[in-house]
Amino acid sequence: MRDIKLVAVDEDGTFLRDHVHYDVRRFERIWHRMRELGVRFVVATGNQCYQVQELFAAHAHEMGIVSANGAYVLDGDEDVFAARASDDVVAQLIKACHEQHEVPFSMLGVRAAYVERGTSQAFFDDMARYCFRQYWVDDFSEVEDQVFMFSSVVDEAEVAFQIERFRTMLGGLMDVVGSGEGYFDIVCPGINKASGLKRLMERWDVTPEECVAFGDSDNDLDMLALAGQSYAMQNAPEHVRAAADHVAPPCTEDGVLQVLEELFSL
């Protein structure tokens, strides 16, 4: 076994079987083995931190959380970093949301996520799978929060067009990244899972060579490139698999857990 001090996993399409479930008892064995070896565990996701904390309730206070694609980073219960989009950029994004209605958005901040009334209930319910603390509001501009991300989902056939559209519209003021299955996020420049993971690695004195990372989508590419050992899931697109050192079994077969059992001799 190589000297591993940190394991970082994406959630949807990677660690979780179906956006919610994983083999809890199997993970418990791996968790205790990692603790014995002094290995840190990090969930790095585009999802809201409150969703991670609920899904990993037994250990959330002891693990790292890189949420909202690196925009909000926690070490257990302690805030490490929270990005902030400028007021001008947030106002520009709100204006774009009001001017076009074919692309719905959830606006994410430190306290919660928000969806404007008039948006479909189906969209609200869909985003609520990833943002466990989400509320209806009359107008995004009335929200008092530290905003760091806007998230949306469109038909998979349209996502590349919409990503390029918003990149052009924002002119580099914000980054736009796909997260798979038609979802995409608008995040602060330079913020991604790798930047969030680096903050924890520096805090814990862990080098990239001592890190193992697992992912399945475009928003995992920076993190996979950072880690000394990287695994793309078998269910990942071809270009993501090509970017990783190894391919793990698919998420539906608990591929991450299979690899960790091999790495930690369980």
Report the candidate in 229, 143, 217 with the shortest Cα–Cα distance to residue 177: 217
132 close to 125: Cβ distance less than 8 angstroms: no
- Pick the catalytic residue from 3, 10, 77, 216: 10
173 close to 7: Cβ distance less than 8 angstroms: no
Q: Are strands 78-82 and 106-109 parallel, antiparallel or unpaired?
A: unpaired
Token pair recorded at residue 79:
């805030």
Token pair recorded at residue 220:
């995992």
228 close to 210: Cβ distance less than 8 angstroms: yes
Token pair recorded at residue 187:
């995040």
CA–CA distances in Å: residue 116 to residues 68, 139, 143 = 19, 6, 10
Rounded to whole angstroms, the Cα distance separating 51 from 169 reads 30
Rounded to whole angstroms, the Cα distance separating 14 from 210 reads 20
221 close to 195: Cβ distance less than 8 angstroms: no
175 is known as an active-site residue: no
Q: Which residues are catalytic?
A: 10
